[in-house]
Amino acid sequence: MKEKLVPKVSVIVPCYNVEPWVERCLESLVNQTLSDIEIICIDDKSIDNTLKILGRFVKKDKRIKLIAHKNNMGVSASRNDGLKAACGDYVGFVDPDDFVDFDFYEKLYERAIDTDADVVKAGIRTVDLQNGRQTVNNKIPKHISDFSGAFWSAIYKRDFLNRFNIKFDEKLILGEDTLFVSNVVLNTSNIQFIKDTCYNYFYQRPGSLDSRTLSHVRAESIYSSVIQRLKLIENASLSHHDKELFIDKHVLFQIKYNIFKTFEVDADRKKLFDLLTDIYQKYGLKRYFIHRFKGAYFKFIKTSNYGAFINYKLKRFYLFYFLPIIRMEYTGKKIYIKLFGFIPLFKIR
C-alpha cells in the first residue's frame, strides 16, 4: 500500500461571503513556488457565490480540501476545523480577502527546516483600501514580544501547536487572533523572522471585522481577550523585564488600538480605561504608558480621571510637514495653545 506523503505546509483559509476576493487569494496559493502544500478552505455557510468558487478550485487542484459548514459558526471555529484537518509539518493561515507572495511559503519553510523553529514570521505589505497607500513592514524585531498580532504572516510547527493545545477561542468574535499569538509566543523562544517575502494585508475592507465602531458584543469580546492575555503573561515564567515588554506589546498596545474607537455603549470603553488604571497601579510601567498614551492621556490614566480622558483632544500644526509649531490641547471646556508642543502661549476657556 502506497504511503501517503505528508505535505510540508497546510494553509488554512476560512471563508464567509468573500466572493470578490477569494479567487485572488487562492491563485496566490495554488501558484506557490513550494508546491508540496495542502490548502484547506472552510466555507462558513456563505450566502453569496463563495462556495461555488471554492468548488471550482477544488476540481482544478487536488491539493485543495473543502470543508463546508452546515451552519455559520464564526471564524475561530473555521480556523480550528482547519487545524483539525491539517496534515502538514507546519501550518499557515490566510484570510481570503488577502493574498501572499508566490515565494511566501517556500521562504518560511526553508527557514523553519534550517532552524527547527516552532514559528517563522515574514514581512507584511499593508494596502489601505481607502487611499490605496502601501506600506511594508519587514523589520526584524529585537524581542519576540514584538510579535503581537498579524498571526497570518507566519507558519507554526503543527506538533508545537498540538503540544500546547494552542487554538482559537471560539467564544470571541474579536481579539481571538491576538490571543492566539500571545499563546504562541509565551510558549516558545524559538521564533525566526525573515524579511524577503510578504503577506499582503488589505486594510479597511467593507464588511471586515476590523471596524471603527464597536457594538457591546464586540467590545465585550475585546475586553475578554485582553484579560486572558494579561493572565497568560502573569502565569508565564518571564523575567521582570520580559514581563513588562509583553504587557506593553500584548496588552497596552491592544487597549490603545481599541479604546479610541466609537463605542455604542460608553460603559464598555470605561471598562478598558479602568483596566488601564488597574494595570498602572499594579505594575507601574510608567515609561511604557507614557510611550503609548502621549500628551495628557497618561495623566488621566494615572489619576483615574475617565471624564477628562475621553474629553481630551490633541491637534498639531506643522511647518514643512515635520516640524511641530503649534499644539492645541482640548480638555473639556478649555483649550491650551503651546509653541513647539511644550511652551505655553495662552489658554482659551
Q: What percent of the chain has pLDDT over 70?
A: 86
Residue 265: DSSP 8-state: S
pLDDT digits (tens, 9 = 90+) for 176-206: 999 999 999 999 989 999 999 999 999 755 5
In a domain, 299, yes or no: no
Strand 191-203 to 119-128 pairing: parallel
Of 203, 226, 254, the domain-final residue: 203
Looking at the fold, whether 217 and 80 belong to one and the same domain comes out as: no
Question: What pLDDT sits at residue 317?
Answer: 47
Domain limits for position 67: 9-203
Looking at the fold, whether 278 and 329 belong to one and the same domain comes out as: no
Number of domains in the chain: 3
What whole-number distance in Å separates Cα of residue 241 and Cα of residue 159? 29
Looking at the fold, whether 53 and 128 belong to one and the same domain comes out as: yes
In a domain, 1, yes or no: no
Confidence check: pLDDT of 338 > 50: yes
Looking at the fold, whether 115 and 159 belong to one and the same domain comes out as: yes
Of 203, 229, 248, the domain-final residue: 203
pLDDT digits (tens, 9 = 90+) for 138-190: 889 889 999 998 999 999 999 999 999 999 999 999 999 999 999 999 999 89
Looking at the fold, whether 190 and 244 belong to one and the same domain comes out as: no
What average pLDDT does the chain have?
Answer: 90
Question: What pLDDT sits at residue 142?
Answer: 86
Three-state SS at 73: coil
pLDDT digits (tens, 9 = 90+) for 49-61: 999 999 999 999 9
Q: Which three cell numbers stand for residue 348?
A: 482659551
In a domain, 29, yes or no: yes
Looking at the fold, whether 218 and 195 belong to one and the same domain comes out as: no
Looking at the fold, whether 239 and 334 belong to one and the same domain comes out as: no
Looking at the fold, whether 197 and 323 belong to one and the same domain comes out as: no
Across residues 284-313, what is the average pLDDT? Answer: 91
Which segment of 43-47, 70-74, 132-136, 332-336 scores lowest on mean pLDDT? 332-336
In a domain, 15, yes or no: yes
Of 203, 230, 250, the domain-final residue: 203
Question: What pLDDT sits at residue 134?
Answer: 87
pTM attached to this predicted model: 0.87
Across residues 264-276, what is the average pLDDT? Answer: 96
Question: What pLDDT sits at residue 1?
Answer: 42
In a domain, 305, yes or no: no
In a domain, 303, yes or no: no
Q: Which three cell numbers stand for residue 276?
A: 488601564
pLDDT digits (tens, 9 = 90+) for 92-132: 999 999 999 999 999 999 999 999 999 999 999 998 877 77
Looking at the fold, whether 146 and 219 belong to one and the same domain comes out as: no
Looking at the fold, whether 94 and 138 belong to one and the same domain comes out as: yes
Q: Kindly list the distances between the CA atom of residue 123 and the CA atoms of 22, 100, 158, in Å, as whole numbers in the listed order.
A: 21, 10, 21
Looking at the fold, whether 45 and 177 belong to one and the same domain comes out as: yes
Looking at the fold, whether 326 and 275 belong to one and the same domain comes out as: no
Closest CA to 121 of 146, 89, 102: 146
The one-letter amino acid code at 235 reads: N
